[in-house]
Structure 1
Amino acid sequence: MTTGKVRFGALLEPSPDHPQDVVELAELMEQLDYDVVTLSDHPYWPERLDTLALLTAMAVRTERITVMSNLLNLPLRPPPVLARTAATIDILSGGRFELGLGTGAQQMWGAIAAEGGPARTAGESIEALEEATRLIRALWTSKTDVAFDGKHYRLDNAKPGPEPRHEIGIWFGAYQPRMLRVVGTIADGWIPSSPFLPPGALPDANRIIDEAALAAGRSPGDIGRGYNIEGTFGTGSGFLEGPATVWAEQLAELVLNKQADTFFLYRAASADFLRQFAAEVAPAVRELVAVA
């Protein structure tokens, strides 16, 4: 996904009873003109089907919509395997895969360790994410064997490839200053969630990202700004608590203030909700942004 245009998507959550239904929802989202469909990743939950397998199914059942992880659990996914799986999905989809990558939620480290994953501190998990990002990009782009000797990962002249169909963006989730600076330094995009980072906190976080990008010789405008958004259509006065017209005004304001450019409906993406948002909110946001 390129930046500079407002985009809409959803973070779908597979049902334990009918996990394959998310593939049909992805098809519906394409019909409704959404831009991107995403899945979270909890490989330590046995009731969940594999995220990358589901994203592959979505990719082959659709033709236009971008498919994306939001976010993959790095500790349980070796970077070389992840690089090749991501490239494979991108090739099969005709260049429609984006890689959202996470350090692993701190509250899930027990479950991660139970499956043979590493036990990392918060600082070590950020180091590992930085190393993995460099390693993955090298395996996508290098014309020679890849050697890598990091603190958390090591490659001994590994063969690169396959080459993705397009330049896959790597997006991070981040909330704390150190991780936000990593976003600005090396990430292609950022995805926080509104329940954990409300709109009022976005300017300070974006400022940290922008400053880190400039310090690294990057343009802040090249970094996508995603936002997992949660709300209800109602009569409240808070963020995304009012009618569709208020949703449109609030989201357009975030776009115009350069706080977000891609919105993912979070936790409430039933078929009916997806239809209502596509009909009443998305076009209104685009119109408000276009005339501003």
Structure 2
Amino acid sequence: MTDYGHDLLFGLFVTPGVAQARHALDLTATADRAGLDLVTFQDHPYQPTFLDTWTLLSYAAARTERVRLSGNVLSLPLRPPGVLARAAASLDVLSGGRFELGIGAGAFWDGIAAMGGRRLTPSQGVDALREAIAVIRDLWDVDAHGAVRHEGPFYPMTGAKRGPKPAHDIEVWVGSYKPRMLALTGAVGDGWLPTVEYLPDGVASLPGHNARIDEAAVAAGRPPAAVRRLLNVMNVRFSPTSRGLLDGPPGQWVEQLADLALTHGVTAFLIGGDDRTLAERYAAEVAPAVRELVARERRR
């Protein structure tokens, strides 16, 4: 059993479809009003049926007051880290410290290449992401002396000025599944952000993946708890009888999410569905009960 002790976060994993553009904003406003902690948007810049995620994040931040926002996850090959660092810090300042950086090495390489992005091998993608995270954090570090200089093969910098400084310490959440990406997450990430439907064995994959992250964190001189564990669950619904993970009555949701927290260390739960009524019920009937159950078990 693994409980890393983080506070619990409950949020949404929203599809930014162009055909229902206002719906994504309505979902965000619903989450803000209902007391959810986080709203995240898929990022596929090569997908013409989707809104641009960064534009949507900015617009959503201006329309909300308390909910935190993130890409889930931002496509690094089409979002250069120098510009991304300044954009992230700027949005964090403008939103009052409500932005977190979900980022990935890239997927759907045909689409990335068609948009002018560089096609990388899986190994190159991992190395490029590690380099990009270092660049981003250096640009945020306005208290360090001198300009930012990086000699890496993917994102060299030769004297970029630092700043702006984010309003809070933005967390870097990494979308990762394979061994080298999991090791990168443990070594330099602030969070691990997978989708359960993409894990090879679903929830049963979590112990092995957590172990790889923990080992990499320790090898890098970090405690495993330095890496928050988040989880997207795309296929969810409330139903009278139990049919699977987050497919059943509210009480089942509560038990399953509490088990994910206490057994597998997952402390941020982002649900799909793109449904306002489901989001409101999640906020009202599930989130408070999970918080109470996990707090009670932690006290024991």
Runs ≥4 in structure 1, deviation > 4 angstroms? none
1:257 match: secondary structure: helix
Question: Is contact 1:143–1:160 with CA below 8 Å preserved after alignment?
Answer: no
> Which residue of 246, 256, 268 maps to 2:262?
256
Task: Give the count of matched residue pairs.
Answer: 288
Counterpart residue number, 1:16: 18
- How far residue 10 of structure 1 moved from its aligned partner, in angstroms, is 0.5
Query: Distance in 2 between the 1:47 and 1:231 partners?
Result: 23
Q: Which residue of 2 aligns with 1:116?
A: 116
- How far apart, in 1, do the equivalents of 2:104 and 2:43 lie? 9
Q: Is the contact made by 1:3 and 1:222 (CA closer than 8 Å) also made in structure 2?
A: no
* Maintained 8 Å contact 1:3/1:224: no
Please point out which of 242, 246, 264 is paired with 2:248.
242
Alignment of 1:46-61 (within 5 A): 46-61=48-63
Larger RCO: 1 or 2 (CA < 8 Å, sep 6+):
2
Deviation (angstroms), 1:240: 2.0
Provide the C-alpha distance between the structure 1 equivalents of 2:145 and 2:66, rounded to a whole number of angstroms.
Answer: 30
Q: Which amino acid aligns with 1:37?
A: V
The secondary structure found in structure 1 opposite 2:117 is: coil
Q: Is the 8 A contact 1:185 1:216 kept in 2?
A: yes
Aligned residue number for residue 70 of structure 1: 72
Residue identity opposite 2:122 in structure 1 = A
Q: 1:199 aligns with which of 196, 203, 222?
A: 203
Question: Unaligned stretches of 5+ in structure 2?
Answer: none
Partner of 1:221: 225
**Unmatched tracts of structure 1, length 5 or more:** none
Distance 1:128 1:154, change over 3 A: same
Name the amino acid aligned to 2:247. Answer: E
What's 1:99 paired with? Answer: 101
Residue from 53, 77, 82 that aligns with 2:84: 82
* Contact residue 113 and residue 119 of structure 1 kept, 8 A: yes
Equivalent-residue separation in structure 1 for 2:9 and 2:79 (angstroms): 28
Q: Which amino acid is the alignment partner of residue 114 of structure 1?
A: A
Letter in 2 for 1:207: A
> What amino acid is aligned across from residue 254 of structure 2 in structure 1?
A
CA distance in 2, matches of 1:83, 1:187: 15
How far did 1:280 drift? 1.7
Q: Is the 8 A contact 1:26 1:37 kept in 2?
A: yes
Corresponding residue SS for 2:100: strand
1:158-215 CA distance string (max 9 Å, x none): 1111111111111101111111111000000001111112111111111111111011
Where do residues 146-157 of structure 1 align in structure 2 (5 Å cutoff)? 146-157=148-159
Which amino acid in 1 is paired with 2:237?
Answer: T
CA distance in 2 between partners of 1:37 and 1:114 (Å): 29
Deviation at 1:20, TM superposition (A): 3.2
Measured after TM superposition, the shift of residue 16 of structure 1 is: 2.4
Identical pairs, percent: 45
SS of 1:195 mapped into structure 2? helix
Shift of 1:252: 0.2
The equivalent of 2:290 in structure 1 is 285
Relative to the length of structure 1, the TM-score reads 0.95
Cα drift, residue 3 of structure 1? 6.9
